[in-house]
Structure 1
Amino acid sequence: MSAFQTYLKLGFFHIFNLQAYDHLVFLLALCAPYVLADWRRVVALVTSFTVGHSITLALATLGFVQYSPKLIEILIPITILLTCLVNLLQAGSGQGRSQIPRRKPLPLVLTVPNVLAAVFGLVHGLGFSSYLRELLGRNSRPVTELLAFNLGVELGQLLIVSLILALGFVVLRGFRTNRRDWILVTSGAAAGIATVLLLQNSSS
């Protein structure tokens, strides 16, 4: 197996497993306001997040950025809480994201949700970097490995959000659940987990 295939697989399984539950919870919060018909917007959103974390992951792995792991452990659940807060405020006002007038003055990737996802991705990328640096060892210029790992993470994220959207479709259509209730429940659950995570990381 080539280095590219190895790190592609490592990136995929790093995000698509329960040990990365903080990132899984973030993806749940990120996708909560959307339905299956919004899949293009969700892909753009997830890709924006990937662009953000790819930048800091590369910079930190190559040694251009120094950071406090303790601070990142605190900031990651904060990004989840902020995402949930936006969801809850919109659901509470009765305005889902799909109901926002689609004037499209900017390309899809430059919409406010996508920019926020990219900014939050910068934080999560630093969280990924510790794991990747352990894998790379003394490899000082891991260009191929970085590319493959990021691509693997992106594929894992797309699979996760596909499952979230599919679950939402079943709940909303199959059980005729109100969309507002779905947003409130999923975002509330994500916020609860993030709060526990924040308290744990702050006290450790």
Structure 2
Amino acid sequence: MDELYFQLGWQHIINWDAYDHTLFVIALSAIYLLRDWRKVLVLVTAFTVGHSITLALSVLHIIRIPGPLVEFLIPVTICVTAVSNILKREEEPQHLQLNYFYALFFGLIHGLGFSNYLKSLLGSQTNIVQPLLGFNLGLEFGQIIIVMSILLVSTTIVKISQVKRRDWNMFLSSATFGIAFLMVIQGVRSLFF
């Protein structure tokens, strides 16, 4: 694995410039607490798998999707995930199937968002396997840092502050939705105006 690309991967995720990616991870994690860390780790890994597939296909010039369309679709994925959280009736997540779908499928879309960044890093390099692997492992590491932070905050608020889990989910998911919705409006403007 290429350590430089690993470092670039996790630093890119932790960087405020990647807040759209961070918002998606927040939306994906909003319904969980620290005790659910295994479930969330599987979700984040499914997201990374989807992300890695389109990142590789885009870097290899197998697929090309216009940047403004991708920049519109990314916040749409955040909004859909947040609304799904808000509409959940049960206090604790029971079934992960829909969340796995969101993580994997929406990971495909988010991977396209990173492709131009990674292409610029790779330049004319022909062997992309190690840099791509290092970058994706770095992204996964950064996502795990974000997820563990969210789970820790959520657990603290729900368990120590005695806020109902459903209320915390509503707050966090609604806030995430609001920010992402503003991004959707910006995306519409860049697509059509």
| Bucket of the pairwise TM-score, normalised by the shorter protein | over 0.9
TM-score using structure 1 length = 0.90
Unmatched segments (≥5 aa) in structure 1: 103-107
Matches within 5 A, 1:29-48: 29-48=27-46
Post-superposition shift, 1:96? 3.2
In structure 1, C-alpha distance between the alignment counterparts of 2:147 and 2:12, rounded to whole Å: 15
- Pair 1:196-2:182 in alignment: yes
Structure 1 segments, 4+ long, off by >2 Å, are none
Structure 2: which 5+ residue stretches go unaligned? none
Aligned-residue Cα RMSD (Å) equals: 1.3
Give the Cα–Cα distance (whole angstroms) in 2 for the partners of residues 112 and 200 of structure 1: 27
Q: How far apart are 1:112 and its partner, in Å?
A: 2.9
For 2:39 and 2:92, locate their aligned partners in 1 and report how far apart those are by CA, in whole Å.
10
State the distance in 2 between where 1:41 and 1:184 align.
Answer: 20
Query: Using a 3 Å threshold, how does the CA distance of structure 1 residues 97 and 174 change in structure 2: closer, same or farther?
Result: closer
Q: Of residues 5, 17, 21 in structure 2, which corresponds to 1:19?
A: 17
Note the C-alpha offset of 1:187: 0.3
Could you tell me how far 1:113 is from its partner in structure 2? Answer: 1.5
Distance 1:112 1:188 in 2: 19
Identity of aligned residues (%): 45
Output the CA distance in 2 between the equivalents of 1:57 and 1:146.
Answer: 8
- Is residue 41 of structure 2 the alignment partner of residue 6 of structure 1? no
Query: Is the 1:50–1:150 Cα contact (8 Å) retained in structure 2?
Result: yes
Please give the alpha-carbon distance, in whole angstroms, between the structure 1 residues aligned to 2:105 and 2:126: 26
Instruction: Give, in angstroms, the shift of residue 203 of structure 1.
Output: 1.2
TM (norm. structure 2) is 0.95
Distance in 2 (alpha carbons) for counterparts of 1:167 and 1:116: 23
Q: Which amino acid aligns with 1:38?
A: D
